[in-house]
Structure 1
Amino acid sequence: MAQGYVPEARILVIMTGGTICMQKSPDGLVPARNFLDRCMAPRPEFNDGEPQDPLDVAFKDGPEGMVSFDESINAGLWLKYAVLEYETLLDSSSIDSKGWDQIASTIFRNYKLFDGFVVLHGTDSLAYTCSALSFMLQNLGKPIILTGSQVPFSERKNDALDNLLDSLDIAAHFMIPEVCLCFNSTLFRGNRATKISANAFDAFASPNLPPLAKITAVDTKVIWNLVTQPTSLQAFSVQPDLEIHHVACLRIFPGIRSKMVEAVLRTEGLRGLVLETFGAGNAPSGHDNKFIQVISDAVQRGIVIVNVTQCLTGGVSPVYAPGMALGRAGVVAGGDMTSEAALTKLAYLLSLPEATPESVARTMAISIRGELTEHSETVFSHPTGELSSPVAQLTAIAYAIASGDIQKVKDVLREDTQLMNRPDYSGNTPVHLAATGPSLAILRYLLSLGASVHLRNHTGSGRTPLFLAANAGLLPHVMLLRQAGAHLHAEELETARLHASQRPEVWKQAGLGIP
């Protein structure tokens, strides 16, 4: 195959509802069905007019849920997508944990069938859904891009077209294994975003973290050093049933009475509370200290209370006496988390098996999905201020992998960890090379840094590291990649079955169903 070959990306668009699909009615804007036929298929931006083979989409559990999706449309070179539209379309103001479960389970069922996902969603609760999914989708290795619009796609002047095009392009062409929010030519980390405008196209912001990417007419600039990568050797999974109905959020205001706070904290079934306080984490104490006592009593009863600031930027810091008093009462400092992230993270941690108030409180204070800034991190600075050529570095890594020199690999990656997912002239990343290399330790090291197991090279039909390892008969490499969440791509299965008779046990361990 020619060197310029680039694998075709498969994207699943999940339509949940929201303004983007709405139409006018006598009662105002309402969600309307058949978004693909009404809005996408007629437009050349989403349909090149060429006949396409249908894509498989999993609608429900079990093999019977695998059906041919006849309305898949080619959206230009190297991108093919299908649209899965929910039977009941929601106004996002009505979504809750059941809706989040539905989205998460859809992604889980289709995870091995698609390279990325775009979720169309209403803007009112979009930041909450982004945050919730970021915690529910554990050991995520593929891009999940959520978007919507302030104006319906059916209107002449709208923001829906660009938001959807940008989301599809990012999901298809950039390995950003996070739950992200794409809006107004900007890509945010989902659990860092918050809605700042009810009617402007520039509706979202990420106050305490720069955007992960900016989209212009010329290119898409990704700030790769901000992108998080999965570093645990575990497969993708979903934690359902967030305890969202057992947590609450309370905004402190001047003159708030301790009885009001106590009434909330005495709510039946309450397990956690996000307290939105003044400034750097301050709350009224009063001369009788009654407010702090109410808080302390609730903590003693096992209610986890998290302190976040009402301010748009900055975070909770125990500088002032009122804030320190909350800390002494057992309130967890939420750092610079948004209220949306704090609330959904609290609900997620409480839903984990064997969760205790103590374990939840400890984990609320640390970053698990990039949702808060930990200031104890060591920042690496190259002594010369410049890095050597990426081509030279990739060549050095390739030689080191081929010779099994793990120290040399570490030395090169110490200068630039983003080389882990960077392809060489033939489209092979270091993980592709290590998948057939002599050293299992090198492969394990790359995976521990967050190297992607889902990228495909630019040779043949676009091979994953798992396919290469299985084809080479390297069972330990196959098992390690599978442990890290690797799976065979849909376009590799037919070829894998042809090779299966030679090494059936290896291909079986690679996930190929062999009778």
Structure 2
Amino acid sequence: MKRVLVLTTGGTILSFRTAEGLKPVKEDVTELLNEKLLKLSGEYEIDVETVFNKDSSNIVPEDWYIVKDSIQRSIDKYDGIVILHGTDTMSYSAAMLSFLFAEVNKAIILTGSQIPLSYKDSDGGKNLRDAVIAAGDSRLKGVFVVFHDKVINGTRAYKRSSINKDAYISCNYPYVGVIKDNKLFITQEYRDMKDKEHDAGLKILELKDKKIPKIFVLKMIPGIEASLIDYILKEGYQGVIIEGYGLGGMPVDNKELMAKIDLLASKRIPVIMATQCVYDGVNLDTYEVGMTAKKNGILSAYDMTTEAVYTKLMWGLSCTDSYEDLVKLLQTNLCGELAVRY
């Protein structure tokens, strides 16, 4: 019999109606979860542990380390781990846990729901059961999101809908698998992708401490003010992610803005260009605006999601003080987050 630990952190799946609106308020939800898992009885031994109770909009980076510690305390005793999580920031948590557990040899599965588990029309029961099935499957190693029958690499999950039960897509990467009739089917596209990934030579870095580096995400908009860079410098941000246009465009005619971004690079503050587009990633060698950005020391996120870049940079800054090592880390695929380099 497979042993699976379910860690609860709150989210819609464990929310209840209150005078202030839906929110996770009950500490002990074991009875509710066991009721939804009855169909799996006899095949899985399931334990439940509460980590914290939060709407995932209230998740902060420190919470990722609390979850990490809960996983580390228990993972040797179980075949896999399920984490119940709110959908709004699940992509961030899944990405960060992917880097924190880049060498794990079991499945760590995040799931949640669009409708609370206590509601009759909830998608939570199905997602929960599917997550347990995936967690107990020895073919999966790493961190994944399971949602609406699909298994998604933890660094590639992207929430596309605020209401639809089919809320997540796999961004720029094959779906890992699908779950039908309580069975996991791994896709051939994922197998082929895994065969092509070849960056395992980089030694996974160890955390020096659990300090949370300050990272600024700067979204390009028409007429953006260069003074935002002054704020970034004044507040001591240690990394900047630019969400550029398309393949990595930004207003290079704004000489004041470019000069100040060049100042960031001269101070060896990593500046990474991501894209506001969902699909296909960044290529700084196509347009003049991208090539100019590259000449100013801006690094490419390639086909990584903003969530993956943000958490990878945060993790990397917590592992090394070397700018060169950090750049190498950012440009190396560790757990499926980086598949295409232009």
Q: Could you tell me which residue of structure 1 aligns to residue 251 of structure 2?
A: 284
- Given candidates 301, 306, 324, the residue that maps to 2:267 is 301
8 A contact 1:128–1:344 mirrored in 2: yes
Q: Show the counterpart of 2:219.
A: 251
Q: Do the aligned residues in 2 keep the contact of 1:15 with 1:83 (CA within 8 Å)?
A: yes
TM-score between both structures, scaled by the size of structure 1: 0.61
CA contact (8 A) 1:101 1:240 kept: no
Q: Does 1:269 align with 2:236?
A: yes
In structure 1, runs of 5+ residues without a counterpart are 1-7, 49-74, 377-515
1:34 alignment partner, one of 28, 41, 44: 28
Higher-RCO chain (CA-CA 8 Å, sequence separation at least 6): 2
- Residue in 2 aligned with 1:310? 276
For residues 263 and 150 of structure 1, the distance between their equivalents in structure 2, rounded to whole angstroms, comes to 40
- TM-score of the two chains, using structure 2 as the length reference: 0.91
User: Which of 1 and 2 has greater Rg?
Assistant: 1
Distance 1:149 1:239, change over 3 A: farther
- SS at 2:4 equivalent: strand
Task: Report the Cα offset of residue 112 of structure 1.
Answer: 1.2
Amino acid at match of 2:130: D
Task: Report the CA distance between 1:273 and its aligned residue.
Answer: 0.6
Structure 1 Cα separation of the partners of residues 118 and 66 of structure 2: 26
Residue in 2 that maps onto 1:106: 70
2:132 maps to 168
Q: Distance in 1 between matches of 2:317 and 2:332?
A: 15
Number of the residue aligned with 1:393: none
Match of 2:303 among 336, 343, 358: 336
Alpha-carbon distance between aligned partners in 2 of 1:248 and 1:143, rounded to the nearest angstrom: 31
Taking the TM superposition and a 5 Å limit, the aligned residue runs for 1:36-435 are 36-37=30-31, 39-43=32-36, 46-47=37-38, 75-86=40-51, 88-217=52-181, 219-223=183-187, 224-227=191-194, 239=207, 244-260=212-228, 262-286=229-253, 289-317=255-283, 318-352=285-319, 354-374=320-340
What residue in structure 2 maps to residue 466 of structure 1? none
Please report how far the alpha carbon of residue 81 of structure 1 lies from its aligned counterpart in structure 2 after TM superposition. 1.1
Native 8 Å contact 1:104 1:238 kept in 2: no
After superposition, the CA RMSD in angstroms is: 2.4
Matched letter for residue 311 of structure 1:
C
| C-alpha separation in 2, matches of 1:161 and 1:229 | 37
Is the contact made by 1:212 and 1:226 (CA closer than 8 Å) also made in structure 2? Answer: no
Structure 2: which amino acid aligns with 1:78? E
Tell me the distance in 1 between the aligned counterparts of 2:199 and 2:19: 48
Please say if residues 307 and 334 of structure 1, whose CA atoms lie closer than 8 Å, have aligned partners that are also in contact: yes
In structure 2, C-alpha distance between the alignment counterparts of 1:184 and 1:112, rounded to whole Å: 28
In the TM superposition, residue 300 of structure 1 has moved relative to its aligned partner by 0.6
Alpha-carbon shift at residue 233 of structure 1 (Å): 12
Q: For residues 426-448 of structure 1, what are the alpha-carbon distances to aligned partners after superposition, in whole Å with 9 as ceiling and x for unaligned?
A: xxxxxxxxxxxxxxxxxxxxxxx
Deviates more, 1:355-364 or 1:270-279: 355-364
Q: Which amino acid aligns with 2:266?
A: Q
Deviation at residue 136 of structure 1 after TM alignment? 1.2
SS in 2 for 1:14: strand
Maintained 8 Å contact 1:252/1:283:
yes
Amino acid at match of 1:158: S
Task: From the superposition, tell whether residues 241 and 343 of structure 1 become closer, same or farther in structure 2 (CA, over 3 Å).
Answer: farther
Percent identity among equivalent residues? 29
- Choose from 9, 12, 17 the match for 1:16: 9
What is the CA-CA distance between 1:47 and the residue it aligns to? 3.2
Letter in 2 for 1:256: I
Opposite residue 160 of structure 1, the aligned amino acid is G
Write the distance in 2 (CA, Å) between the matches of 1:18 and 1:295: 38
Corresponding residue pairs, total = 335
Amino acid in the other structure paired with 2:14: C
Deviation, 1:200, is 0.9
Label 1:169 to 1:368 Cα distance change in 2 as closer, same or farther (>3 A). Answer: same
User: How many Å separate the matches in 2 of 1:237 and 1:311?
Assistant: 30
Query: Which amino acid in the other structure matches residue 84 of structure 1?
Result: E
Give secondary structure in 1 for the equivalent of 2:178.
strand
CA contact 1:136–1:240 (8 Å) conserved in 2: no
Amino acid at match of 2:148: N
Q: 1:79 deviation in Å? A: 1.5
Structure in which a larger fraction of residues adopt strand: 2
Distance 1:163 1:133, change over 3 A: same
In structure 2, the CA distance between the partners of 1:11 and 1:200, relative to structure 1 (3 Å rule), is same
Helix, strand or coil at the partner of 2:139:
coil
* Distance in 1 of aligned mates of 2:198 and 2:207: 19
Judge conservation of contact 2:220–2:245 (CA < 8 Å) in 1: yes
Seen in structure 2, the aligned counterparts of structure 1 residues 297 and 230 have a Cα distance that, compared at 3 Å, is closer
The CA distance in 2 between the partners of 1:238 and 1:174, in whole Å, is 25
Q: C-alpha separation between the residues in 2 aligned to 1:238 and 1:148?
A: 30
Q: Compared with structure 1, are the counterparts of its residues 334 and 42 closer, same or farther at alpha carbon in structure 2 (3 Å cutoff)?
A: closer
Question: What is the deviation of 1:77?
Answer: 3.7
Q: Distance in 1 between matches of 2:113 and 2:103?
A: 29
Structure 2 vs 1, CA of residues 351 and 244 (structure 1 numbering), >3 Å: closer, same or farther? same
Offset of residue 10 of structure 1: 0.9
Question: CA offset at residue 33 of structure 1?
Answer: 2.4
Distance in structure 1 (CA, Å) of the matches to 2:208 and 2:70: 12
Q: Which residue pairs with 1:476 in the alignment?
A: none
